Structure 1
Amino acid sequence: MSTWAPATAGTAQIVALIAEYLDPRANQREMLGRLERCATFPDFNLYLAHVLTSEEEPGRREDVRQSAGLLLKNNLKTSWTTTMSEEYRAFVRETLVRSLGHGSRLIRTTCGTCVAVIVRCGGVENWPTLWPALAAAVEQGDDNSRDGALDALYKACEEVNGRLDVKVPGMSDSPAGVLIPRLFALFQAPSAKVRQQSVGVVNMIAPCWPENHYALLDTYLQGLFALANDPDNDVRRLVCSGLVMLINVCPEKLAPNLRQIITYMLERQDDEDKDVAMESCEFWGAFCEADLGDDYVQILREFTPRLIPVLLTNMAYQEDDDEVIQAEDDEVNVGREDRDQDIKPTFRDTKDKGSQGDEADDGQDDTDDFVWNLRKSSANGLDILSNVFGDELLPIILPVVEQRLRESRWEIRESAILALGAVAEGCSAGLLPYLPTLITFLLPMLDDARPLVRSTTCWTLSRFSPWVLQCARPSNDPNAMPQQQGMEQLNTLITAQCKRCLDHNKHVQAAACGAIATVLAEGRDTMAPWAETVVQTLTQALGMYQRKNLRNLYDALTMLAENIGPSLQEARFAGALLPGMIHRWDTANGADPELFHLLECLTALIIGFGGAAGQYSSGIFTKCNAALGLMLQRRVAVQRGEIPAEEYSVDVVICTLDLLSGLCEGLGPDIETLVAQSQLREIILACCVDESPGVKRSAYALVGDLARSCTAQLNASLQQFMELIITQLQPSNVVSMTMSVCNNASWAAGELAIRTPPDALRPFVAPLAQCMVQILDMRMVNRALGENAAITLGRLAMVCPEDLQSGLSHFVNSWCSALRRLRDGVEKEHGFQGLCKLIQMNPTAAEGGLGAFVEAIASWRVCRNEALVATMGQLLVGFKDHIGAQKWEIVKRDLEPGVTRKLAEQYNV
């Protein structure tokens, strides 16, 4: 129990502050600053909980109380496990649970939101009194208490992904086991709201169903069956959601009633409520992806003649669909400026540096321009079904599609075109004889009067692009289309799609850009003859597109740069595209959240153009330096409170650093003159100590890229860079949030090491090597970081072997294990060259890791460095002779048969 009590004056001050914050006339920036300063007081969260729940002032405004709760929720996310004492945590927990039955639904649901945040931050197992309290409220509480408990339960399940099957101190069963029977009892409650809540919570728990309550799944299924025709739309939707969940969790429970369930889901496809219909439609994809046995699949096969027409019907647009309204509005209001609300938010997808290929991070780029609905779900279901049943669906699909393509209503024709695209992959073999005819038929649809017919045709044709591209390549198949005819067909397709990229309708522009990006990604060098056509089209688009579609255009340009190959490396192509990109950069707001898309695209183009971009490189380099200098000044001004936070953009800093890395790659040693005349070294040093992991990550990547192209320009600050890298790679800093920073720092250290004279490198060898060895010994380290550490250790050993040879026995095993995982290439050679040097200097130290060393050598598929191959062979023979035939046989006995065979064939040992 907590003994903390609020002071009346303190409560009044908090209430007044929040009320002022809610006043639309208040200076919001100033008020936020005051609230943030309040958050530094240890008991501020306790006052917020008190204001949210206290009944001392019945007339207190509800919006003030709710705002106190929302501030509390946000503060708890950062302070619950870091700065709050156990006494204060106890007060907040007790206060919130006591108020889950508050008379105001707004207050009790806000309390439920805070409870859920605490469960996420503190863990299900660390609030043992919560679950019995919620169970009691669900089972015996009044209407308000039950509502508050169910609301808190649902939100808590959302926060922990339904994982309530957890051992909790003092409870004989898990929270899931305690709650599930009590929730079942509410499935038939008179209140539709209670039925919704109880089914919703059980659906959330279902994927993590407690094993010791497996029998209760039958009760769950019976409860869903009993609600199948509930008059409440949301209850029926949740029934469908529950059945979808069960087909993944325990399909064997559905098996005895599978035909009835499929029939029910088919009926719900025509439900009066579109959300119910959409949820039932999710069943088909879930069924197919559950990887059920042939008997189950055969049952679904029986229903496909009924199911496919239903899906095709539900794929048609309705005139009141938002997408229809927007597309038709664009058709009427051609050239209207995009509004801020038209621009979707995005998240950067940055990459790690390293020898084994760039590995994408877990960031995501959310560019979807639609909301998931019945139409999308039906098309997705048809796609998945076609991948399960393949060509056998065509006799059902094609007659319906053919009939719909002749319809006068555009919505019906468009749904038929969408259906062809949906089955393009799954039914590709059966469609093959029809594809030339289908493409010929679809091409005129690109000129349809209705924009959504044009845009869907772009997408469907892009789904056929793998086959079209294959026809344009040489083939030994006597039945294949002649290559010349395939080239003509591909030319027709690309020309038509490029024309649609310049459509007056923004919706069509986006679809056509996506189609061009697809054919570029899949066609690669096959697309080389159309480089000029695509460049001309995208150059025109760059001049005409508004903000909303620029992102789609940048994606297409990036695919062009990354896939079309050396044919892009012509000055005329760079001259066509780069001025427009630079102009877009010049006219963009320096902190525009869309600016980083432009910079990422420009980076890809600079790399793709290579030396052909030479005449623009100096200007781009200068702009990068200026942009970084400005942003770093703004960062300081924001920290001082002199300018709004929105004027500084971390993403722009990251992308500008990445663009400089792209210039390094594109220009190579030619970048040295530009770097020598700039303050770039000082800017990078500042970025390497930035508080943002993303900024540091890109800064260290740039250090490595500059080391490869102009090491001399880093020499003046070599000590500073090395000390920063050593600090970054200390074990306490190698955590999940900074793993990519550490990866790039390790990579940069190796790139510097191999290009630095031994005398200059020597002061840093021992501490750097210690960092690499510690990384290699970590169990949960990111694979890319472990590989880069192994390479960097090899590079240090190549340059200064005498500084490392005495410690070889301590790290030879972990080092060899990491080297074994590397792909063949120059970086792997460097790792092995360093290792071999140390072994040559101190062979005795390697004896304890002889087995690991032998396995590492056998991991090579082809080593192109003949001197290294000879050295490895000499070491193997030397070890064999040194330890004797008997011990060598013992070493070989622990090796895989493939390893011993390879060693015998290649090295005769």
Structure 2
Amino acid sequence: MALNEWKPSEDALSTIVRVLQDSLVPDSNVQKAVQEKIVLMQNYPDFTNYLLYILSNAQSYNDHVRTLSAIILKNNISTLYETLPITTIEIVRQQCLELMKDTSKEVRTSVTTLIGVLVCKDSISSWPNLIPYLCLLLESSDSNLSETALSALFKICEEYLSRLGSGQEEHNEMINELLSKFVTLVTNERASIRKEALKLLNQVMQDDIDLTKKHFDTKLYMNSLLQILKDNDPEVQKLICQAFVMFIETRDVNILPHIATIVEFIFSKLEHEDTEVALQGCEFWLASAKLPTCREIFLPYANRLLPILIKNMKYSNFELDALKDHLGIDEHVEDKADDIQPRGFSTGGNDDEYYEEVDYDGKDLMGEPNVGWTLRKCSAASLDALSLQFREDMLAIVVPIINQALNHNDTLIKESGILALGAIADGCMSGLCPYLPGLVQYLLVCMNHEHSLIRVITCWTLSRFMTWMMEPEQSTEIYFIPVMTILLKHFLDGNKRVQRAALSAFCIFQEEARLKLVPYIDLILQAFVMAAKKFKYRNCLLLYDVVGVLSQSVGNHLNKPEYIEVLLPPLMHKFNSIPVDEDEEFLALMECLSNVVTAVEVGFLPYAEVAYNRCLQILNETVKNILCFNEKPTEYDPPEKDAMCVAHDLLLGMSVGLKTYFVKYVTNSNLLQLLYYTLQEEMVQVRQPALALFGELVKLCFDHINPQVHDYIPIIVQNLDKQYDGTCNNAAWVVSKLCIVMGQGLEQYVPQILKRYVEIMQTCNGAKTMYQTVAISLCSLGLVFPDTITPYLGNILRPCCQAMRNVRDCEEKDLGFRGLCQLIIRNPSAAVPDFIFFCDAVASWNDIKVDLKDTIRNILTTFRNQYGENNWSAFYEQFPPMLKYRLNKLYGI
């Protein structure tokens, strides 16, 4: 039945129209009533037809009411599509095509969105006349029609390709034709059409390389791009730059024949008056720096490129305007609410600290005025990345420019020179070494510059040379002590941005110095205490991070009464006085304490009960809120979970630091029951520390866990998923601990665990911590269940050896090698094809236990004897000289 054959009820129609008109009233109470009425009207028979009737009736209803009708219709179809009769769907589709020609831009736009939803809910094949019809409109001389059709096609392509990538859509030849059509539109005479075509094709290239190759010819796209290089429209220029970036990032070879032409085009954009165009041009170099062939292709352009990048690293007027209220003495000014940005929380990894000036990712993590990703940032990131490719070959070009900038009277040029010096630090370190004594002294002087911009960037640039300063041959008196002292001094700078920059640099200083800090712990703690009294909210957050890094760096050297008396009372006073668990400061403080308690160990005992009880309170309340929300999601708000993340971290720190003293808190509480829920929490940041905590409890108090352990093991196994590195790593570590304490009691779970481990190790590259932990855990299983694991030796020997060779000497590594040796002894023939990897792995030990050493020596000797002297000699000659040396030194082979 066509829509013109359907007759609405006047009463129902009037009611619906009245509700739509009321929705335009700017009153919250009216809006709430409208939403309630719309929900009720969902039950109207033919509600979809009513909305479509209003949308299609331009003579009776104004554009606002019609547009709103389209929005509600879209939502209605999205929610109820499966329940609607096919005849209703066909009517909606028919009307959508007719409404593409509507005189109202608002209506046309809303209809293109509605078309997108209809395609989303079904497949393109089910609406065969859609794309041909839109392509016909695309050829119209009426710009309204062609641009509306283009918008609809854009949305269809986006939806189709996303569904195709996720396996929800089958390949459709019409899309091939449509993408080819978009390629031809790149050279269309209308700029608006050129822009939309470029946007879509760039998106297609960005989304999926394989799909790109299947669905359109990138060679034709490149040819179209080359035809519009002289286009004067700034938006088109930006999109052309983006397209070339996509060709670089997808390693599309069609760019290579035209690289000289493209580079000239990019050069013409780097100094464009529109900084957004220049930024997109700069992105090309940042992408190019990731190419394995970058040096070969682009080093010849370094003479022209590098000076432009350094020039573009000067602050723009836009950036300076954003910073204008943050340049002078502002330590007394309270932080504004919109200055404080959410922060991430660690889950056992190391978090790098950045601040606005060198935040190459544009995230503004330190809460600076959010100017986003700028030409200055992109230029600095590009120079940094290119320095890793060009290395010392670029110094002859950049050193004179940087020297000139460093000695310039213009503060902004001097600042850009200091930034450039820091940017080339990683790539050009060996070439810079002869200059560093003088440069570090220069930077120390700049730390006292009158302008805060100089002090801020100098902190960062100093941090880039920390590794060099910590080398044994560098003088402690000339570098270590002066740098430490000047950074501590600037904790108390009058400018809050300088304070943050000093704190960030000091984090890196501590990470590099580690135990060199021990003689100066008292001095550092006094600086922390003074800073805590002075800092406003945001800088306190970072101070907690710095305290945490100190704890990680010096470990139990912090466990002295005089240090604990300085550090813990103010931290615990804050801990007890912040009432809101989800407060940013409380979360940062909890993270800090988790590191401190690990370092001070039993020195934390006077504060342990208070900390434990609050953590338990957080877990109890959050788990309760989660269960309530899951049961009645319409009645409860989604629970906040950040506090639960850091509560797990602090409990984990306490278990590691307090060891057996921690057991009494566990056995007198419901922590184990709470872990049953949090180990299954969908949020990875909760599961990861929960798994680590459970593993520590297995070590500390397995007798307490044992009666219920079989409720937990399936959950642990479920977390052996390589998609989530951190949780998989921790789950594998837990399996190792269970293997030790349970022995044969783990037998029923071994097939499930083994299946997951083999799948994980098949993609092992030997570099990630997760693979190392899984390899050790898998080999540990081999020690307890050799008959079950031995048949898989041929599949796991190489990846396990590649992973374990990179593990430092420790008890876990010892256990893993013992298991691996037992597997080889039981099935030596399976080890033959990859025996060289075993040789390489066993050579990685520095301090190996005598019995394990004898076992490995016997395996090596047995293999040598079975090979025969001639075969063994030929095999042995493949080994690198260092491997031969290590095997001879350790095992006499």
Give the AA of the match of 1:771.
Answer: Q
Match of 2:354 in 1: none
SS of equivalent to 1:748: helix
SS of equivalent to 1:447: coil
SS of equivalent to 1:518: helix
Question: TM-score when scaled to structure 2?
Answer: 0.78
Match of 2:697 in 1: 706
Give the AA of the match of 1:328.
Answer: D
Q: 2:523 aligns with which of 512, 530, 533?
A: 533
- Aligned in 2, Cα 1:891/1:532: closer, same or farther, shift over 3 Å? same
How far does the alpha carbon of each residue in 1:766-813 deviate from its partner, in whole angstroms, 9 at most, with x for none? 322232133235468886777656655666676xx6xx5775666565
Q: 1:221 aligns with which of 222, 225, 236?
A: 225
C-alpha distance in structure 2 between counterparts of 1:2 and 1:778, whole Å: 56
Is structure 2 residue 184 aligned with structure 1 residue 184?
A: yes
Deviation at 1:871, TM superposition (A): 5.3
Number of residue equivalences: 852
SS of equivalent to 2:447: helix
Match of 2:357 in 1: none
C-alpha distance in structure 1 between counterparts of 2:534 and 2:304, whole Å: 49
- Aligned in 2, Cα 1:180/1:576: closer, same or farther, shift over 3 Å? farther
- Aligned in 2, Cα 1:551/1:788: closer, same or farther, shift over 3 Å? same
How far does the alpha carbon of each residue in 1:506-534 deviate from its partner, in whole angstroms, 9 at most, with x for none? 22222222211222223333444443333
Deviation at 1:657, TM superposition (A): 1.2
Segment of structure 1 superposing worse, 671-680 or 644-653: 644-653
Give the AA of the match of 1:224.
Answer: I
Q: 1:768 aligns with which of 736, 741, 749?
A: 749
Aligned-residue Cα RMSD (Å) equals 5.4
- Aligned in 2, Cα 1:687/1:896: closer, same or farther, shift over 3 Å? farther
Is structure 2 residue 539 aligned with structure 1 residue 545?
A: no
Give the AA of the match of 1:495.
Answer: T
Q: 1:827 aligns with which of 799, 802, 812?
A: 812
Deviation at 1:300, TM superposition (A): 0.9
C-alpha distance in structure 1 between counterparts of 2:253 and 2:109, whole Å: 37
Deviation at 1:45, TM superposition (A): 12
Match of 1:747 in 2: 733
Segment of structure 1 superposing worse, 343-352 or 638-647: 638-647
C-alpha distance in structure 2 between counterparts of 1:604 and 1:30, whole Å: 51
- Aligned in 2, Cα 1:64/1:295: closer, same or farther, shift over 3 Å? same
Is structure 2 residue 546 aligned with structure 1 residue 556?
A: yes
C-alpha distance in structure 1 between counterparts of 2:166 and 2:264, whole Å: 37
Deviation at 1:391, TM superposition (A): 4.8
C-alpha distance in structure 2 between counterparts of 1:440 and 1:412, whole Å: 19
Match of 1:418 in 2: 419
C-alpha distance in structure 2 between counterparts of 1:42 and 1:832, whole Å: 70
Contact 2:186 2:194 in 1 (8 A): yes
Give unpaired runs (5+ residues) of structure 2: 351-360
C-alpha distance in structure 1 between counterparts of 2:864 and 2:737, whole Å: 35
- Aligned in 2, Cα 1:365/1:182: closer, same or farther, shift over 3 Å? closer
Give the AA of the match of 2:486.
Answer: A
Deviation at 1:18, TM superposition (A): 12
Deviation at 1:676, TM superposition (A): 3.1
Matches within 5 A, 1:305-324: 308=307, 310-321=308-319, 324=321
Give unpaired runs (5+ residues) of structure 1: 354-362, 476-482
Deviation at 1:726, TM superposition (A): 2.0
Matches within 5 A, 1:194-343: 194-206=193-205, 208=209, 209-210=212-213, 213-227=217-231, 230=232, 232-247=233-248, 261-292=262-293, 296-297=297-298, 299-304=300-305, 308=307, 310-321=308-319, 324-326=321-323, 328-329=325-326, 331=328, 333-343=330-340
SS of equivalent to 1:597: helix
C-alpha distance in structure 2 between counterparts of 1:551 and 1:176, whole Å: 53
Is structure 2 residue 502 aligned with structure 1 residue 512?
A: yes
Contact 1:451 1:505 in 2 (8 A): yes
Q: 1:344 aligns with which of 325, 341, 344?
A: 341
Contact 1:165 1:176 in 2 (8 A): no
SS of equivalent to 1:425: helix
C-alpha distance in structure 2 between counterparts of 1:870 and 1:898, whole Å: 22
Match of 2:358 in 1: none
SS of equivalent to 1:754: helix
Give the AA of the match of 1:607.
Answer: T
Contact 2:52 2:92 in 1 (8 A): no
Matches within 5 A, 1:613-652: 613-636=604-627, 638=629, 648-652=639-643
Deviation at 1:705, TM superposition (A): 0.9
Match of 1:497 in 2: 487
C-alpha distance in structure 1 between counterparts of 2:363 and 2:45, whole Å: 39
SS of equivalent to 2:470: helix
Is structure 2 residue 583 aligned with structure 1 residue 592?
A: yes
How far does the alpha carbon of each residue in 1:364-400 deviate from its partner, in whole angstroms, 9 at most, with x for none? 9972644111222222333344444445555554554
Question: TM-score when scaled to structure 1?
Answer: 0.77
SS of equivalent to 1:335: coil
- Aligned in 2, Cα 1:266/1:606: closer, same or farther, shift over 3 Å? same
C-alpha distance in structure 1 between counterparts of 2:254 and 2:392, whole Å: 30
- Aligned in 2, Cα 1:66/1:404: closer, same or farther, shift over 3 Å? farther
- Aligned in 2, Cα 1:187/1:796: closer, same or farther, shift over 3 Å? closer
Is structure 2 residue 196 aligned with structure 1 residue 193?
A: no
Q: 2:851 aligns with which of 867, 870, 873?
A: 867
C-alpha distance in structure 2 between counterparts of 1:95 and 1:506, whole Å: 62
- Aligned in 2, Cα 1:419/1:832: closer, same or farther, shift over 3 Å? closer
Segment of structure 1 superposing worse, 736-745 or 604-613: 736-745
- Aligned in 2, Cα 1:287/1:830: closer, same or farther, shift over 3 Å? closer
Give the AA of the match of 2:213.
Answer: P
- Aligned in 2, Cα 1:366/1:319: closer, same or farther, shift over 3 Å? closer
Is structure 2 residue 678 aligned with structure 1 residue 687?
A: yes
C-alpha distance in structure 2 between counterparts of 1:31 and 1:585, whole Å: 46
C-alpha distance in structure 2 between counterparts of 1:613 and 1:777, whole Å: 42
Deviation at 1:629, TM superposition (A): 2.3
Matches within 5 A, 1:389-408: 389-391=390-392, 393-394=394-395, 396-405=397-406, 407-408=408-409
How far does the alpha carbon of each residue in 1:789-838 deviate from its partner, in whole angstroms, 9 at most, with x for none? 6655666676xx6xx57756665655656654551543344346567779
C-alpha distance in structure 1 between counterparts of 2:731 and 2:795, whole Å: 20
Give the AA of the match of 2:741.
Answer: R
How far does the alpha carbon of each residue in 1:543-587 deviate from its partner, in whole angstroms, 9 at most, with x for none? 433333344334433332333455444343343333333333331
Match of 1:607 in 2: 598
Match of 1:356 in 2: none
C-alpha distance in structure 2 between counterparts of 1:406 and 1:887, whole Å: 70
- Aligned in 2, Cα 1:522/1:248: closer, same or farther, shift over 3 Å? same
C-alpha distance in structure 2 between counterparts of 1:257 and 1:266, whole Å: 14
- Aligned in 2, Cα 1:704/1:352: closer, same or farther, shift over 3 Å? farther
C-alpha distance in structure 2 between counterparts of 1:819 and 1:458, whole Å: 43
- Aligned in 2, Cα 1:373/1:741: closer, same or farther, shift over 3 Å? closer
- Aligned in 2, Cα 1:89/1:495: closer, same or farther, shift over 3 Å? farther
C-alpha distance in structure 1 between counterparts of 2:518 and 2:36, whole Å: 56
- Aligned in 2, Cα 1:285/1:754: closer, same or farther, shift over 3 Å? closer
Contact 2:186 2:225 in 1 (8 A): no
C-alpha distance in structure 1 between counterparts of 2:872 and 2:193, whole Å: 68
Give the AA of the match of 1:674.
Answer: Y
C-alpha distance in structure 1 between counterparts of 2:387 and 2:176, whole Å: 38
Segment of structure 1 superposing worse, 696-705 or 852-861: 852-861
SS of equivalent to 1:605: helix
Contact 1:135 1:179 in 2 (8 A): no
- Aligned in 2, Cα 1:373/1:676: closer, same or farther, shift over 3 Å? same
Give the AA of the match of 1:500.
Answer: H
Identical-pair percentage: 23
SS of equivalent to 2:842: coil
Contact 2:824 2:831 in 1 (8 A): no
Q: 2:65 aligns with which of 61, 65, 71?
A: 61
